[in-house]
Amino acid sequence: MTFSREIVLSRPRIVIHLCFSLVFLFSTTLTWREMLLLKETYEISQRAQLNSMANALEREWQRSEDELYFFRSMLQHAILSPVENESIRGQLTAFNRLRHQPVWYLRNSTARSIPINGISDAALTAWPLLNRDDGERLRNELTAALEMSFILQLSDPNKNFHSRLWYISRAGFYLSSTPPKNDSETLTSFRTMMARSYFTEMAPERNPQRKLFRSGIYRSRQDEGNFITNTIPVDVAGYWYGVLAVEFSAERIAMHLREALPEAEKGNVMLYDRELKLVAQTDTAESPDEPLNAETLSQLRHKMAHQQQGVMRSGTHFITWIKYAPSRGVLVKSETLREGVKGEIGRVALVLTGMWLLFSLVLFFTHQAIIRLVSKMLELHNRLLWRANYDSLTRLLNRGALFDIAERQANECQQASKPFAVIQLDLDRFKQVNDNWGHQAGDRVLSYAAAVLEETVRSRDCLGRVGGEEFCIGLPDTRKAEAVDVAERIRARLAKKQVMLSGGQILNVTASLGVASSEEVGDYQFESLQSLADRRLYLAKRTGRNRVQAEN
């Protein structure tokens, strides 16, 4: 800390650069803050606009769903309490006569009534989910469907948000607000409906909660365009009779979106289904901008997993999105940079962007100058710190650093009631190496010995060079017997390998080691333990060298 402060004080240009940098940083921060506030204002306005459009669309969607639930309640009540009259009995008699035909129709006497369209008993067996019961259940369901046809004839497709409403029975017939035109269309429609998810997903095992199901976008069975369907199961007394459904055309959804979009607003508003397939968009130009690309949709899918609404960028497009509950999809508005700049907020953003770029440029060069100076300073500081704590030849801790660290480790072991051991090591006949082969050979031997020591001890052990050819190792949480084993491994590894000098000569390196432990003397003072290990080291030398001495 003192060293760094001295460097700063000795070079006043650093202080000048820092002061100018703070001024530029402060000015840029203020400008950037204004940009953020402007961006936030723009995002809020875009989200508010999307929410307004979503609410308008949801009201229409909810009205159609309410109608769906109304018809289900009516059907359930009609099945439980069937009404019999001469017309109904006549239609039931006609059903028994027609049921074996490939395609059959039932129609009330009212001229405007909607017909019930069905298939034969034999054709019914092609679909496992279908079941035509010949008992009272089938009679009651047909009676209820005939009653429903009276009300369904009052439906006006031109005024409703949904394009059609229909009932699909598991007994092999259906009732639609837009009846098929001929037998071929009846069969095609029925086969298509049986394969659609809006029917198959209503099976009790697929939909045990019996909740409303919303399909993804698909092509209409009569090739009228793209549609989304909402369906609910019709169950009475635990029996699944069929499915009630309302169908929404992409064209009509797009029309409502355009009506809800303010006239002065720019951009393309798109509705995607739960699989992120495009349902409808407000852009009706002959060559509209491409919908969101695959990469943008992938990012949107990831964001939708964690958020209900948000904003994102895609190239030059600014995208605002909110989850849209009725279709389990997402409502997205994409606005190009050019469209955004044309607005009042865009023009202000241009001015602020220019200011931000100017200040950022100045900040960049100032920052680079500071970084270079600080980097050099830190590099010098680290180099000095390393030199203060490590031996340059062996790259091990020097005596001072070793004693500081080992003393701290010994105190920690004492507080935790754990043993602490010390190994003192001295290379045998090292003076002869220097005298016979020179100091360069001696340095090579020391480096070799240091490498062997580092490979043998644990990472938490404290290892350092404390003299010319002397090394010391502090072993926390180590008993005396374990320390002796470590010392013996070091001795064996040093004696096993040979050091080759530059002239081709080979030297055998051995060492004498002394071991001391806190558990034998009851003392955790590192200097005391190191002194004891040192005495035993010299005892090992006097008694033959190349050995470990752990006793006095």
CB atoms within 10 A of CB 489: 15
Listed in sequence order, the residues at least 6 apart from 522 whose beta carbon sits closer than 8 Å to its beta carbon are none
User: Three-state DSSP class for 196?
Assistant: coil
Listed in sequence order, the residues at least 6 apart from 349 whose beta carbon sits closer than 8 Å to its beta carbon are 35, 38, 39, 42, 340, 341
Alpha helices in 320-438 (DSSP H): 337-341, 344-389, 399-415, 430-437
Q: Are 227 and 163 in contact (CB under 8 A)?
A: yes
469 catalytically annotated: yes
Q: Which residue do the tokens 């009540």 mark?
A: 77
The DSSP code sequence of 86-124 is HHHHHHHHHHHHHTTSSEEEE--SSTTPPPEEEE-HHHH
Per the residue annotation, which of 60, 141, 339, 469 is the catalytic one? Answer: 469
CB atoms within 10 A of CB 3: 11
What is the residue type of 50? L
Closest CA relative to residue 355, chosen from 41, 39, 29, 42: 29
What is the residue type of 338? R
Burial of 376 (0-12, 13-18, 19+ CB in 10 A): exposed
Q: Are 61 and 253 in contact (CB under 8 A)?
A: no
Can you give the C-alpha Rg of the chain in angstroms?
44
The Cα–Cα gap between 475 and 424 comes to 11
Closest CA relative to residue 176, chosen from 186, 184, 168, 166: 166
The Cα–Cα gap between 74 and 405 comes to 86
Burial of 548 (0-12, 13-18, 19+ CB in 10 A): buried
Active-site residues: which are they?
Answer: 469
